[in-house]
Amino acid sequence: MADNTVTVVGNVTRDPELRFTSGGKGVASFGLAVNRRYQVNGEWQEKVSFFNVTAWDQLGENASASLTKGSRVIVTGRLEQREYETNSGEKRNVVEIVADELGPSLRWATAKVERTQRTGADGTSSGGGGDRGGGSSASSSSSSSGGAQRTPDPVYGDEEPF
C-alpha cells in the first residue's frame, strides 16, 4: 500500500479557526507558508508555497488553543484532495494537508509543553501515560499509542468540515 505522508515546516499565516461538526468533532484549519531559498547564478531566489492545514479532534482543539499567526510549526500529515462548489456554482478542487502531528519549530524559539487531560468516550478522565505530548505554548501534539499507528481518517458523512 502506498503511503501518502508529507512533513513541512513553515509559518502560520492565519490564526487557526476551530469549528465543530454536527457530531461534536472539533476541526481546526489554518494556513501555512513554506519558504524556499536557493541560488541561481550567484543570486538568491525565494519561493513561497501556501498550504491549507486541517487538524481533527483533540489535535485540532490543541492547535487552536496553541497556535497563532506567525508561529513557526512542523506539520506531518497526508495530502488530501477534495472537491467543492462555490456559491456561484463553479466546481473547485483543493489539495490540503490533513495533520497527524503538529509541533513547534525549535530552531528559533523555545516552547513549554503542558499535558492536556484526555476524556474517554464515557466522559471519564484518563491520565495517559508515557511521553505522549500535550498542549504547548507554541504548539501541540496528540499522538496515538504506539509508534507506527496513525490517527484514524475523519468520517465526513454528508457534511463538509468547512
Domain 6-36+45-136 is in which class? mainly beta
pLDDT digits (tens, 9 = 90+) for 78-122: 999 999 999 999 999 999 999 999 999 999 889 888 888 776 666
Work out whether strand 91-104 and strand 43-56 pair parallel, antiparallel, or are unpaired: parallel
- For 7-22, b/e burial (b = at least 16 CB within 10 A) is ebebbbbeebebeebe
What's the pLDDT at 104?
93
Q: How buried is 139 (Cβ within 10 angstroms: 0-12 exposed, 13-18 middle, 19+ buried)?
A: buried
In this structure, the number of other CB atoms found within 10 A of the CB of residue 87 comes to 5
pLDDT digits (tens, 9 = 90+) for 4-48: 899 999 999 999 999 999 999 999 999 999 999 999 999 999 999
Q: Where are the domains of the chain?
A: 6-36+45-136
